[in-house]
Structure 1
Amino acid sequence: MDDLTPSDLFSPSKARAQRALTQDWAQIESWLSYKYAGRAIPTFERNEETLKVLRELSTANERADEDRTMIERLEREALKVLDESSTNEDENPMKKALIDNLTPAGADALTALTSTATTLDATGLDTLSMAHSIIHLTSSAQQISNNLAHIQTLQGYLQKQHSLLRDQLALLQTDPAFGAPPTLHRQTTEQVRQMKHVKAKIREYEDRFSSLQSLQNRSLKRIGDASSAEAMADTLEQQKALRELRTVVEDLEARLAVFAELPADKEAARRELGRLEVELDGLRRRRDALFESMVGN
């Protein structure tokens, strides 16, 4: 029997159904507590099918109790009437005289009539009242018979289910397929031994791994030192080559500075270069002429 969930609080239909289910289980528990009269109620599976069967059984039981109570009340009233008849028999002379003067057939008929009226709890001795009482009693008897048949069917179903459960329990207890294998103890011991061996191997491999890691760190440190020396030598070589390259670049820049005033256009630069060559030739001839005049003097 579940309690209300938070989602059911926002669903009126679910809340009503849950409350009705709770009330049904409360009635069943109250009925079982009354029937067991203080003894512990046996445990059973609580589901809708069980609730339905128990509710029908409770209803049938209550009807049977009502019928039994009615029969007991009729018997008590009949005994009371008989006692009163016996008590008042001597007090009513007319009645006594009437009974004494009845024929045997009349006495039997009167006895049958009074017994029938007492059994039927009829309000009068007229034919119509007794007929209605007989019809009502017949209907009640038929209803009781139907309820008893239904109860017997439920009882047979419960006994059948009980037998099936006992058979299944016996099968679980006796079938070797559901029992522990005979080699379970040996297998457990072997697995424990293997587990200890594996744990020892794990510790051994962890120690080896730690040793290898330490060795690797030391090797990397030595390689790092050697690499640092080689890197420094390479740096010095690169700096030397850079200085030589810078000298070559400066020399080329000095040589190219002569041509800095030339036009950017190729043809114009050639024409300018030709003009400069002609001018250079003229300067050379003047130099030679001046040198010759100086030598002649």
Structure 2
Amino acid sequence: MAHLNPHTAAIFSPSMARAAASTAKDWSFVDNWLARQFPGGRSPPVFERNNDTLRVLLALASANEAADEERQRIGRLEAGALRDLEQQDRNRRDNDKNDQGEASINTTKLHDTRDAILAAVNDGLSREGRVALDTMATLAVEGGIAFATPTNLGQQMVEMAGKVGELEQTEGRVQVLARFLGAEALMIERLREDLETSHYRPGTDLAKQNLEMQRKIKTMAARLPDLRDKVTFLASSVGNMASPTIEQVRQEEEAYLTLLARKKELDSQIKVFQGLPPDTDQARQELESLRSELRRMTQRRDAVFEGLVERETPRKPTR
């Protein structure tokens, strides 16, 4: 019943009493859920305990509990799947131990057969074929290709050619940068030598600039305590200001939008007078000139219109 006004009289309607009891039960559920989610936190403030907030919090709590249940189900399924995988892994290791002896024998036979096939192929190749095969093998090893095919090797060669081109361009850029840095270093070295010679003389206004800089430093140093006091005062003023409420923010936003609409209206009115001189008399003269031009254009339009009407009006034949 925390959402009700404490000064409200007792509720005599049974339906209102049931609704109030249901609302109190919902708020109790929401408060308990918030306490579980945020240990040590506070309940919603009094001005937020309304029907809209209650409806949103109930929906959020329901969605959160549904998500927790879904996550728990997924966790149980993943744990069961992990146990099954571990059991399968143990079974596989047991089978591997039993088959290890047979596999070693089969592996030895396979190696012997492979060596015999490779020796036969090597003996049957010509000199050019043997060179080509060695080249392809070397390229496959250098490129890290496990199962080399002509397509894979060709693609590897194209990629290597592209990388070589990129490296050449990078080398050219580095050389240009090195030349630029060398020229800058040479210029700095010459400047250093000029400064160390006895012929160098500083600018004539250097002493004046030094005095001016010292004067500015002293002026800013004298203003520094005052600025610190202002910063401290503003910090304390901001700290003492109360936090704005949602209603105040809404009112300020409405006032801002009203002022913005008024500004747009005034801008549209001022745009009409854009281009007029700032002096009142000159502006009035220019306005009168524009009015005279408007009258001349209106008279010209009327004359053209009358001539057009006379020209297009059919004439009755004379008898």
Same fold (TM over 0.5): no
- Give 1 or 2 for the bigger CA radius of gyration: 1
Higher relative contact order (CA 8 A, sep 6+): 1
User: TM-score scaled by structure 1?
Assistant: 0.30
User: TM-score scaled by structure 2?
Assistant: 0.28
